[in-house]
Amino acid sequence: MKPLIRKPCVVANWKMQGSFEKIETFLKQLAHNMVDVNQLEIIFCPPSVYIDSVKKLILKNKALHPLKLGIQNTYCEQTGAFTGEISPLMAKEIGCDYGLVGHSERRTLFHEDDTLVARKVLAAYHANLVPILCVGETAKERDEGKTFEVLSRQLEVVFQQLSFEWLQTIIIAYEPVWAIGTGVPLASESVEAVNVYLRDYLARYDEKLKHLVRILYGGSVKGDNAKSFFAMGNVDGALVGNASLQVETFLTICRDAVSIMNQ
């Protein structure tokens, strides 16, 4: 049983996929089959260009009102000559409550380093956007036994600049890089071991954080394996990529989250 303060959470990250038509269909079906939102927070991260329209669709349909919106990436400044970037303030203005920061695709494909990720987290907080901070090791780092070392490095740069007030609301998504989009997740027992490590790491900043901060798992979470992660005491939900594109699969994951994490 999870402490009630850590409400289970499932995030749908559509990445650069889908279309407005697909999103409309997805939301319609989600509305018809909505899970118990008192027991689960659902955060939808569509491609940024659709967020404003998605917000309007949510407002039009009461069943969707509890659905939260997240942005997949924001910049580390709030305004200025930064062609192509979106500021956290802008994301907040169009209806986002959450923002992914430091997703491994951003770190790898767009060369975002720990320092930039830390600046983005800080900018998100200044705009009242709650960061979902993604951390995780590569296959090579895992093989070399460096998983904890890598996670500590990724977290330290971010954590050292945040007050307790901010830190207590952060969501951490532990996503081993090699498990993302490959269909091969990390075994649930190993995920649990990492999340226990992350909680102990949080306790170094403040003992209370260990109990307050939600830590999700991401990396090939699917309809037939989500349960195994949710059954672990230190996993508070999932960050779902591919499997969130199919509404039925996504709903299966959400239902499993409700039934298992609220037992």
| Residues forming the site for ligand PGA (CB under 6 A) | 13, 175, 180-181, 218-221, 239-243
Catalytic residue selected from 41, 103, 105, 137: 103
Q: Angle formed by the axes of helices 51-60 and 20-32, to 10°?
A: 30
Taking the least distance from each CB to ligand PGA, the nearer of 50 and 250 is 250
Query: Is 41 a residue of the active site?
Result: no
CB of 153 to ligand PGA, least distance (A): 20
Q: How far apart are CB 161 and ligand PGA at their closest, in Å? A: 24
Comparing CB distances to ligand PGA, the nearer of 142 and 205 is 142
Which residue number, 209 or 247, has a Cβ lying nearer to ligand PGA? Answer: 247
Which residue in 41, 137, 141, 175 is the catalytic one? 175
Query: Shortest Cβ distance from residue 186 to ligand PGA (Å)?
Result: 11
Q: Which is nearer to ligand PGA, 14 or 201 (CB)?
A: 14
Of all residues in the shown chain, the one whose CB is closest to ligand PGA is 241
CB of 223 to ligand PGA, least distance (A): 11
103 is catalytic: yes
**DSSP one-letter string for the chain:** ---TTS--EEEEE-TT---HHHHHHHHHHHHHT---TTT-EEEEE--GGGHHHHHHHHHH-GGGTT-EEEES---SSSSSS-TT---HHHHHHTT-SEEEES-HHHHHHS---HHHHHHHHHHHHHTT-EEEEEE---HHHHHTT-HHHHHHHHHHHHHTT--HHHHTT-EEEE--GGGTTSS-PPPHHHHHHHHHHHHHHHHHH-TTHHHH-EEEEESS--TTTHHHHHTSTT--EEEESGGGSSHHHHHHHHHHHHHHHT-
Residue number, 101 or 221, with CB nearest to ligand PGA: 221
- Nearest CA to 62 among 30, 14, 40? 30
- Beta strands 9-13 and 98-101, pairing class: unpaired
Report, in Å, the least distance between residue 220 CB and ligand PGA.
4
Residues labelled catalytic: 103, 175
